[in-house]
Amino acid sequence: MSPGMIISGCSIPPAGKGSIAGNPYLNKNKGNILSELEVVSSLMAPSIRSQIYKKIDDSVGILSLTTKYDNLLMWSHYANDHRGMVIGFDEKHPFFNQTTTEDDELRHLRKVSYSKKRSNLSLNNLDGLAGYMVKSLEWEYEQEWRMLMPLVDADKVEYIGNQSVYLFKILFSAIKTVYIGARSGGAYKEDVNNILSANPKLFHVELVALKTDDKEFSLIPEAVD
């Protein structure tokens, strides 16, 4: 199943935040940031974890995707209670593999793992971005994949209050399917269909409407003509 991103009918969190000026993490020619993490080795031990993550958070954004376009709980949480949409992407598209070196930890899709234990991040075990690829078992139902991107590569930065929102362009050719929520209504479905029909670069995109199953707690996909 192609990864999809719940994108409409909800508030989309920014890819990252914070200042990028003069940050040693943002060397675009280096995919592996382990060497940059060594600069925090002089920090006081009690705050080492938070300081490391703070520096990474100020430098790296996360695109979060899922392989489950029909998960009831995620539709409720992330798409305005089934009134929004899910965009399905082609995971083989070049956008999702922009690695610059063999050991690049950034710029490509990576599967999130789920565990009872947190990643062991310490002065003696600085394991790159491993902490950003592990989540609690409570979130396993999301079947998440992540793509970590240097914020310096953002195509545009928007400022909302004191929050910086880093935007990255995704080509239309990377989009395969648009799923319409079961509670979206006819007008919403028509608006989305008109957008897809009006742009030749989106003619290849399949529009699918979801409806609730009468017998089971599940969603049924139906192609929209």
Q: What is the pLDDT along the chain (225 residues), one digit of tens a residue?
A: 555 554 433 333 333 333 333 333 334 444 444 455 544 444 445 566 677 777 877 899 999 999 999 999 999 999 999 999 999 999 999 999 999 998 888 999 999 999 998 876 554 454 567 888 999 999 999 999 999 999 999 999 999 999 999 999 999 999 999 999 999 999 999 999 999 999 999 999 999 999 999 999 999 999 998
- Hunting for tokens 């600085």 — which residue is that? 126
**Cα dihedral sign, 21-100-149-103:** negative
Containing 193, the helix (H) or strand (E) segment is helix 186-198
pTM, whole model, 2 decimals? 0.75
The confidence score (pLDDT) of residue 209 equals 97
Q: CB pairs under 8 A, 24+ apart, for 102-107?
A: 103/31, 103/32, 104/31, 104/32, 105/31, 105/32, 105/33, 105/129, 105/148, 106/31, 106/33, 106/60, 106/148, 106/149, 106/150, 107/31, 107/147, 107/148, 107/149, 107/150
Phi-psi map region of 43: left, alpha, beta (phi>0 left; psi -120 to 50 alpha): beta
Q: The tokens of 22 are what?
A: 């003069």
The confidence score (pLDDT) of residue 11 equals 31
**How many Å apart are CA 77 and CA 18, to the nearest integer?**
26
Q: Write phi, then psi, for 148 (nearest 5 degrees).
A: -95, 130
The confidence score (pLDDT) of residue 42 equals 45
Q: The tokens of 133 are what?
A: 């690829």
The confidence score (pLDDT) of residue 218 equals 96
Average pLDDT, the chain: 81
Taking only the tens place, the pLDDT of each residue in 14-43 is: 333 333 333 333 344 444 444 555 444 444
Taking only the tens place, the pLDDT of each residue in 186-204 is: 999 999 999 999 999 999 9
The confidence score (pLDDT) of residue 127 equals 54
Q: Enumerate residues 6+ apart whose C-beta is below 8 A from 210.
A: 70, 82, 179, 180, 181, 182, 219, 220, 221, 222
The confidence score (pLDDT) of residue 131 equals 81
The confidence score (pLDDT) of residue 225 equals 81
The confidence score (pLDDT) of residue 36 equals 53
